[in-house]
Amino acid sequence: MMIITQKITSLAYEIHDGMFRKDEELTPSQRGLAVRRMPSLLEYLSYNCNFMGILAGPLCSYKDYITFIEGRSYHMTQSGENGKEEIQYERTEPSPNVAVIHKLLVCGLSLLFHLTISKMLPVEYNIDEHFQATASWPTKVIYLYVSLLAARPKYYFAWTLADAINNAAGFGFRGYDKNGAAHWDLISNLRIKQIEMSTSFKMFLDNWNIQTALWLKRVCYERASLSPTTQTFFLSAIWHGVYPGYYLTFLTGVLMTLAARAVRNNFRHYFIEPPQLKFLYDVITWIATQIAISYTVVPFVILSVKPSLMFYSSWYYSLHFAAILVLLLLPVKKKQKGKSIHENVQLSRSKKFDERENSLGQNSFFTTNNVCNQNQEIASRHSSLKQ
């Protein structure tokens, strides 16, 4: 139900953007994903209920799915000699076997870790009365981090298995790199290394449940006129369900995200050089991020109100107060209005795609996919730079 909810709402917005809004009203990412033709009933049901993603997803855009169904995802795009023309030529259909085997190995290790280590480090022990009364603060901090670290492999298992299923069916091919190597991470839902080595709240969220984060960004964050961060976290809580722990986690997440953004914007530029100073900054921010993430998601795991508040009380709501203090003391930089160079380049590429799509008709879905993927990568880099 959660995945189908994402697909229905995503497609609804993409059709609305493509058929009922003017191009100049769209952001570059909305323009790239806009659907210009109403899907048939078969295409609609196939997108929502295909066997590859009916159980665990992950979410994919309608254009990516249709490109795969049309068999037009195995192309490579090169820039022409003038740097502007886009030359497309077909490549041999790549084999997903290596990617699937690698992901199944990750699934096996994650499941093994979950069935062994995770059982020995329950998150609920953080609110055990004896533990709270006898453990020192360093012990509490370390156990909080380790217990939440041990809780993550079950998500790694489910999402990686879902990705492997799609890859085994031939879906998920993102393209070739400059060396001609195939990448099968078009709909990957997580990047484990980046998650565990995150040095900021944003870096963690960008690599955790990736497709859901993109969905929240497309249907809420980019469209919200007032407090988009708060609205996005609230929508995420509603989408997850009715357990109070979800709402406690996402309300806390709003504070942590805004505070982390303020700290990063005000201090990070002082620690870029020399490399030794940047390394020290990365170590400190890694520790702070991992503690903040663990503190934030405890209610998400526990789910109930009383145990969640008991945990926060045992920490004296310290990180809540710290985040509020940061927001009160540090200046928050406003987002710049207007279009940057990245957006202008993206807009020109999107316009070129629209003209090409209109001239080629309904069979030009691969062109859509290539331009859309390029637009998404540029938009992602631009969003990271702004934040």
* Structure tokens that stand for 96 in this block: 């997903």
Q: Which of 240, 265, 266, 342 is catalytic?
A: 240
pLDDT at position 344, please? 44
Angstrom distance (rounded) from CA 144 to CA 296:
11
DSSP notation for 311-347: HHHHTTTHHHHHHHHHHHHSPPPPPPPS--HHHHHHH
Angstrom distance (rounded) from CA 177 to CA 124:
45
Q: What is the dihedral of CA 380, 196, 247, 238, to 10 degrees?
A: 50
DSSP notation for 222-252: TT-SS-HHHHHHHHHHHHH-S-HHHHHHHHH
CA distances from 116 to 22, 143, 150 (A): 55, 17, 10
pLDDT at position 332, please? 75
Question: Would residue 240 show up in a list of annotated catalytic residues for this protein?
Answer: yes
* Structure tokens that stand for 372 in this block: 């859309």
pLDDT at position 54, please? 86
Sign of the CA dihedral running 127, 129, 133, 134: negative
Angstrom distance (rounded) from CA 3 to CA 137:
40
pLDDT at position 71, please? 86
* Structure tokens that stand for 161 in this block: 């298995």
CA distances from 109 to 55, 56, 117, 154, 167 (A): 22, 19, 11, 10, 19
DSSP assigned state of 221: I
CB 137 within 8 A of CB 79: no
What's phi and psi for 182, nearest 5 deg? -80, 140
pTM of the model: 0.80
pLDDT digits (tens, 9 = 90+) for 306-326: 999 999 999 999 999 999 999
Angstrom distance (rounded) from CA 62 to CA 8:
10
Longest dimension (CA), the chain: 73
Nearest CA to 58 out of 233, 210, 174, 195 is that of 210
Q: Which residue has the tokens 């900021």?
A: 200
Q: Which of 209, 370, 373, 375 is catalytic?
A: 209
Residues of the chain with pLDDT under 50: 76, 78-85, 337-387
pLDDT at position 356, please? 44
